[in-house]
Structure 1
Amino acid sequence: MDITTLCIHGAKNNTHNTGAVSVPIYQSATFAHLGVGKSTGYDYSRVQNPTREYLEQTIAALENGIDALAFPTGMAAITALMELFSIGDHIIVSDDLYGGTLRLFENINKKNGLKFSAIDTSNIEEVKKHINPETKAIYIETPTNPTMVVTDIAAMAELAKANNLILIVDNTFLTPYYQQPLNLGADIVLHSGTKYLCGHNDTLAGFLVTNSKELSEKLRYIYKTTGSCLSPFDSWLLIRGIKTLAVRMDKQQENAMKIAGWLTTQEKVKKVYYIGLPTHKDYEVSKRQGKGFGSMISFEVDTEETARNLLERLNLILFAESLGGVESLITYPIYQTHADIPLEDRLARGINEKLLRLSVGLENADDLITDLAQALSKEESYEI
């Protein structure tokens, strides 16, 4: 079945026989037993709920995994994921991860005895140098947030398997519609479902997906024990959002391609980070491991003053955190998504006062360009 059809029809719905086209919201905390030792398959919603189960089966199918677990946020998913590891275990991670992920690793997981090496995972030789007897996993974002560095997933999977390591891939930016890391050898895929999977900037969610029965059983035990599960209503909102994932991603990418090209022609824009540009250093890797480039663009302007003026002059594009929704959002990473990263580390990764991150939405691309043009100019801003 084509993935565009799978987005709409999802998993097989075995939870009801009413003929309802929309999956019901089973807003129940518990389920009655038919008798001693007899169950409907649902006992308590922390363990499983029919609405959430349908969503999880749909996500697993989209990623070509055997199991998916739905969490209240992406950060909750990562928190549960880290429970796979024990005191003294070492994990290699991309050095340009989302700031909240690095904050969790540095301030929570390290306190609990885990060790991390943050490096450029697009350089496989550098990754090899950091593998030691305590290393248990490699954790990558590709492309990274916010400087759009691309890691070769298949090459990293080969290295991980040769060293008996778990390969974890954050696939939030490209989604299973454009990239399927499990097919390339990854063991676990992570999503902030808040972003493109939901697609409407109105729901928080996170996912872990695996094609390993062993990892599925371990994660399910952690999930049941810690209780960080997505609610039935939020599960239903994600089911609804995923139905339009394919058409949203294609339109947003079309807009992003046009805007990225325009940004490269602007005098005040000194650098454009978009993996769909042939000038991107990892363009060929992106083409090889995915079927699209997504709609996330970062760009560096000439001065901090230009960046601040742009943020204050925009009328259509919203100055807000998050990404992946139908509305275009612009973020100032150094003071928002990566504010908790030490300044020296931020600057070393190119996250400076001139860098902006743009999540391109579904608006007319020319309207978005007009808004950016007036915000970049010296003239007073005007209403669109």
Structure 2
Amino acid sequence: MSEEGYRQRENGIFTRAIHGGFEPQDEFTWPIMPSIVVSAVFEQETPGRDREFRYSRIRNPTRTVLEKSLAEIENAKYALCFSSGLGAATTIISVLSSGDHIIAGEELYGGTYRLFKEIFPRMGMQTTFVDTRDPKNIENAMTEKTKLVWIETPTNPILRITDIKSVSEVVHKQEGVLLVVDNTFQTPYFQRPLELGADISMYSLTKYMNGHNDCIMGSISTNQESIYEKLHFLQHALGIIPSPHDCHQLYRSLKTLPLRMEQHMKNGLALAKYLEKQPQVEKVIYAGLTSHPQHDLVKKQCYGTSGMLSFYIKGDFNETKKFIKALKIIKYTGSLGGAGTTVVVPSYMSHVMLSNEEKIKLGITDNLIRVSVGLESIDDIIADFDQAFKYLLNSK
């Protein structure tokens, strides 16, 4: 355990983030950054004797460097990149067949929920949604047709925590069932699902891994060759691939991932403590606070926690709108994990596709605000929140 009580991280992740995945090979120029290879096709030697790269949908040199880097950061054997996080999710589900059964957390990113609820049932795959905080709920939902269990931890936007190791033990009692963990909120800097028993660690790289709101991409990591081979086949068979330009941009972003995540955590904790003291706030949810009901589990399975927090503002949707409109440097936008602090009202954006009954059950009410705490000076972040609360108070 570290002095903060979290898992102790091994040395070297800063070095792997900077140097992982690439070695200079050009004997004339020896660049220390990989080239952006935009060629769609590559010349081959002879019929029946292919070189490593043939067609960029199958494999591209720039994408390969990024995939190797992602694997090294996570201490994984394999990684694959896709054109978006939902593209990665679609590819994972494509290993299944009609009639297969899926178990998923009842609180998921809205886009993932829509896939399970509306898209994959058309292909003959049914999903049972359960509260994954209790592994028994997963065990009770398992059938002989269950082939995949999908969890987020922390969840979006209520930040529920699932014990990955305990769930893995339940899932792997039944042969042939895959455990997938959406690790977007934590990144491999703060949480490593594969080390805790997951078969696949999945990311929307668009968020923290890129960190600059200028690139859309997804990825998977795994230690199992059979899973990698299936997903690599589907990667090029389905064609859900990112461009070489985006791969190069994301590779560059990974070099600062450890530094950025440390600052996101520092700012997130400071803002969460500030919000807990505000009379206009009903409740603050942040995995790094001791007030979080699963804070001990967070410390047990994570190396820290990111800048994601949610809070309930006192009042109804009118108060929520007034508060958001009063913010100056903090922007209202649907994504997260960028350098700048952003806020969103999940019931009207990321989770708008849920029914009112589903929202109420999960606690996604109109006065819930999700915050992606950025890298600005924490004094400036708090000052912006402070003036917005004062505006709200004076407007009554």
TM-score normalised according to structure 1 size: 0.97
* Kept after mapping to 2: 8 A contact 1:13/1:54: no
Aligned to 1:81: 92
Aligned partner letter, 1:61: E
| Residue-by-residue CA offset, 1:201-251 (whole Å, 9 max, x unaligned) | 000000011111111111111112111111100000000110000000001
Q: What is the aligned counterpart of 1:152 among 151, 159, 163?
A: 163
Q: What is the aligned counterpart of 2:74 among 60, 63, 67?
A: 63
Aligned partner letter, 1:41: E
Aligned to 1:53: 64
Write out aligned runs for 1:1-384 (5 A).
2-13=12-23, 16-17=26-27, 18-164=29-175, 165-304=177-316, 305-378=318-391
Q: Matched residue of 1:79: which SS?
A: helix
Aligned partner letter, 1:272: V
| Structure 1, gaps ≥5 residues long | none
* Kept after mapping to 1: 8 A contact 2:326/2:391: no
* Kept after mapping to 2: 8 A contact 1:321/1:336: yes
More divergent stretch after superposition (37-46 vs 140-149)? 37-46
Q: Matched residue of 2:374: which SS?
A: coil
| Aligned-residue CA RMSD (Å) | 1.3
Q: Tell me by how many angstroms 1:16 deviates.
A: 3.6
| Residue-by-residue CA offset, 1:133-159 (whole Å, 9 max, x unaligned) | 111111000000000000001111111
Q: Tell me by how many angstroms 1:306 deviates.
A: 2.0
Q: Matched residue of 2:172: which SS?
A: helix
| Structure 2, gaps ≥5 residues long | 1-10
* Structure 1 residues 136 and 40: CA distance shift in structure 2, 3 A: same
Q: Tell me by how many angstroms 1:40 deviates.
A: 3.0
Equivalent-residue separation in structure 2 for 1:376 and 1:219 (angstroms): 48
Aligned partner letter, 1:197: M
Equivalent-residue separation in structure 2 for 1:294 and 1:301 (angstroms): 21
Equivalent-residue separation in structure 1 for 2:235 and 2:25 (angstroms): 22
Aligned to 2:7: none
Equivalent-residue separation in structure 1 for 2:25 and 2:313 (angstroms): 52
* Kept after mapping to 1: 8 A contact 2:22/2:34: no
Aligned partner letter, 1:222: L
Q: Matched residue of 2:339: which SS?
A: coil
